[in-house]
Every structure is written in C-alpha cells, then in structure tokens.
Amino acid sequence: MTPLIPKPRKRDDPGPGDVSAPGKGASESPGGASAALAPEPQNPAPVPDINELDVPAELEDQIRASMAKYPQVRSASIPALWAVQRMYGYCTPEGISQAAAVMEVTPGYLQSVASFYDLFHLEPRGSHEILVCTNISCWLRGADDILGEFLDASDSIRSTRTEGTPGGSAGEAEQPPDLISVSGFECLGACDIAPMASVDERYFGPLGPGDAATIASQLTSGEDVLPAKRLADRKAAGAADQGTAS
C-alpha cells in the first residue's frame, strides 16, 4: 500500500501532476548541476487530447459537473476517479486517460491520486465488494473470524465458478471474474454494530457465525442481503417510533 503521508516535496519538485511540463524543475542546460539534482521523469504521459479519445458522454458530464464545484480543477480528482470506477468497475488505464483528458491533467496525476486511496482500485474487482472491519471494536467482537468466513465463502464461490468454466482451473484466461471481493478494513465508523461489514456500500451488523456464508449465498442468488442486520433499517437511537436510521 502506498504511504499514508505524502513525502515532502523538494522546492523545485513539480509534483506528480506536473510531470508532463517540459523542462519544469530541470536545468536549461542539459547535463548541468541543476539537471542532475532534478532529473526529468522518464517518458511522462502528456495531457491526453480529448478529441483523440472516445470519452463516454455520461462520464464526461459527471466529471464536468464535479469540476464546476471547485475553483481548482484538481479538487475534482476524487469524484472524477469515482465516476471512472463506477463506469468501468475499477480505475482502468483507459478510464483514467479519459478523465485526465476532460480535466486537462496528466494521467500520471490521477494515477497518483487513485493509488493513494484504498477505495480506488487499479485492478479488476469482483461484482460485489465486501469490506470487513477489523479495527478494535469489531476485532474484540470476533472480526477476524468474520473475515475468515467471508474469505472462505469467496474461495468456495470462485472454485465453483472455475469448475463450471470451459478449461477449468487450467487456463487463467478462461476464469470468470470473481463474484465477490473481500478485504479487511480499518474502522468503518459503525462501531455500535460491531462486528460489522460493508456489502456493496451498505452496512450490516452485528454479524455472527454463519452470516458471511449467508451473505455470500444471497449475493450469488440475487436475494436481499440480511435484511434483519441492515444498518439502514435499524431504528434511530432515541427515535424508536419515529422511523429508521438513514
């Protein structure tokens, strides 16, 4: 994982977003002392020309709407990457280039932002995303076991799908994409329902033995996931007769 705290920049360091700026941070005399101190990046990708890319109109609209909310275009990087991830399932190189073209920044800049945050993915993920909180409140209440059960369920589904695929486990290219991606995660901010997990951005808890297998089975069959343990359906504290938590 990338470091949580960005490295301090040197005075002449143009930063990741400016890697395409020719000559920026380097000496005008090639090979001079300053050039040795601030070497040019290797083959930086330039800002893509939007006219040369097939940017989906929906994606461009979403990114431009985000850009309009900020005085600095780079402030829209996270919503732009989110839009890319929603459209393609993860931050594909093509999607990052398309977003970079709309924003008129380098793909390297957006790549550096995407690689910094856990919730952006630079590789394909399963159709369903499960994040199991393993932080202190959940850990004290058995999160490690819950995570283990989710991983077992995911492995079981993967092996079943692989067996049913022509070529079986022999050919990786033949394997279908994972149905479920499971990750341990730091506190998800719902400690009162520990141990808990996020399933496709919806919170569930407190989870117990067998719940992981049930959730995996429900996701596989397209059923409603654990309605009785969905945070959104719990009564709000102090408002037992006034609706549910949001």
Q: Rounded distance, CA 216 to CA 199, Å?
A: 10
Which CB atom, from 92 or from 135, has the smaller least distance to ligand FES?
A: 135
For residue 86, give the nearest of 132, 121, 118, 51 by alpha carbon: 121
135 scored as a contact of ligand FES (CB under 6 A)? yes
Binding to ligand FES, residues 159-188 (CB under 6 A): 187-188
Taking CA atoms, 89 is separated from 112, 127, 129, 215, in Å, by: 18, 8, 11, 21
Which residue in this structure is represented by tokens 């979403």?
Answer: 62
CB of 187 to ligand FES, least distance (A): 4
Which CB atom, from 19 or from 196, has the smaller least distance to ligand FES?
A: 196
231 scored as a contact of ligand FES (CB under 6 A)? no
Angle CA 196–146–205, to nearest 5? 25
133 scored as a contact of ligand FES (CB under 6 A)? yes
Which CB atom, from 153 or from 207, has the smaller least distance to ligand FES?
A: 207
Number of residues that bind ligand FES (CB under 6 A): 12
CB of 199 to ligand FES, least distance (A): 14
Q: Which residues share a beta bridge with 244?
A: 235
Which CB atom, from 109 or from 204, has the smaller least distance to ligand FES?
A: 204
Compute the residue count for the chain: 246
Token digits for 57? 């109109």
Query: Footprint of ligand FES on this chain (CB under 6 A)?
Result: 133, 135-138, 187-191, 194, 196
